[in-house]
């Protein structure tokens, strides 16, 4: 099974291109909009600051990828062109998505290192710098596809250390993770998950924590709550949501939700 599929299905992945052209002034991103960003440098140079400190000078065509809301600044280099395509992205950072949690804070990749996606880039740049009918819709769909390709690149190049992807790459841990993903309403315990994985309780718990960076039951709770948040967004009733993510009552679900997220399901909505 494709390990990325359930994580993508669990969120409403989206990308919206909001700038195309020659960057001619400093642009600040303060993270308050609660979205991630992709910046595609087609030509020229720019200076990148990250959380108030210089990070890099990008001097060749590159993608700069911030998966989560992040404070950063783009500054064009004087007397240099800076042809840029920028998109806002949503990978589920608002809903405690394991995918968003697993990704690094930022990724910078020269486009020359991503030759396999050059057809997508050619289409994206063509739409970005032309004024064809349906341009915005085409740009957004291409940016979403490009986002998936960036995720592939990050995963395939081992830029995720402690993460659920590492667990999915380990056959026995993968059995337990897939069980949680496919049946979040089941009353899983450490013992039953260890049985699914074919390991002792102690060994399973230790291996999972070392690989993912959290305990199996904490991961299960986060997975359930991220599913629940998407259902809340869709307007489903709390009683139905609670049952579908493994809680016997809406009150029990609300207690866990509030303890974990610091707000009630109704207030979060």
Domain range annotation of the chain: 4-156, 164-268
| Nearest Cα residue to 260 out of 216, 210, 218 | 218
Q: What is the mean pLDDT of residues 205-217?
A: 94
Q: What is the mean pLDDT of residues 186-198?
A: 97
Q: What is the mean pLDDT of residues 44-73?
A: 94
Q: pLDDT per residue over 94-111, tens digit each?
A: 666 778 778 889 999 999
pLDDT attached to residue 200: 97
Flag whether pLDDT at 269 surpasses 80.
Answer: no
C-alpha 186, offset from chain centre: 26
Q: Do domains 4-156 and 164-268 have the same CATH topology?
A: no
| Nearest Cα residue to 226 out of 170, 168, 166, 268 | 268
C-alpha 104, offset from chain centre: 9
Flag whether pLDDT at 175 surpasses 70.
Answer: yes
Q: What is the CATH number of domain 4-156?
A: 2.60.120.280
pLDDT attached to residue 234: 86
CB atoms within 10 A of CB 238: 21
Which burial class, exposed, middle or buried, applies to 54 when counting CB atoms under 10 A from its CB (0-12, 13-18, 19+)?
exposed
**What percent of the chain has a predicted confidence (pLDDT) above 70?**
96
| Nearest Cα residue to 230 out of 85, 61, 98, 50 | 98
Q: What is the mean pLDDT of residues 84-95?
A: 83
**pLDDT band per the 50, 70, 90 thresholds, residue 127:** very high
Q: What is the mean pLDDT of residues 123-149?
A: 94
Check: CATH 1.10.10.60 for 164-268? yes
pLDDT attached to residue 168: 83
Rg (CA), the chain: 21
CB atoms within 10 A of CB 182: 10
CA dist 201 and 189 (Å) reads 10
| Averaged confidence pLDDT in the chain | 90
């Amino acid at each position: 099974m494709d390990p990325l599929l359930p994580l993508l299905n669990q969120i409403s992945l989206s990308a919206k291109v909001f700038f195309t052209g020659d960057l001619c002034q400093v642009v600040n991103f303060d993270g308050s909009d609660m979205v991630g960003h992709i910046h595609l440098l087609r030509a020229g140079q720019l200076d990148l600051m990250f959380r108030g400190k210089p990070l890099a000078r990008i001097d060749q065509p590159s993608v700069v990828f911030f998966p989560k809301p992040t404070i950063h600044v783009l500054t064009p280099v004087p007397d240099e062109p800076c042809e840029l395509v920028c998109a806002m992205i949503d990978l589920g950072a608002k809903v405690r998505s394991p995918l968003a949690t697993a990704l690094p804070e930022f990724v910078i990749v020269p486009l020359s290192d991503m030759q396999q996606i050059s057809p997508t880039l050619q289409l994206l740049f063509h739409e970005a710098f032309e004024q064809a009918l349906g341009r915005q819709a085409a740009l957004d769909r291409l940016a979403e596809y490009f986002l998936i390709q960036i995720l592939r690149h990050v995963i395939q190049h081992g830029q995720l250390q402690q993460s659920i992807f590492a667990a999915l790459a380990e056959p026995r841990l993968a059995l337990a993770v897939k069980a949680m993903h496919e049946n979040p309403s089941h009353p899983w315990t450490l013992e039953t998950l260890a049985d699914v994985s074919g390991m002792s309780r102690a060994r399973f718990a230790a291996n999972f924590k070392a690989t993912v960076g959290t305990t199996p039951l904490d991961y299960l709770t986060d997975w359930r709550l991220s599913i629940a948040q998407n259902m809340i967004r869709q307007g489903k009733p709390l009683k139905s949501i609670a049952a579908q993510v493994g809680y016997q009552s809406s009150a029990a679900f609300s207690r866990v939700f509030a303890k974990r997220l610091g707000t009630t399901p109704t207030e979060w909505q």
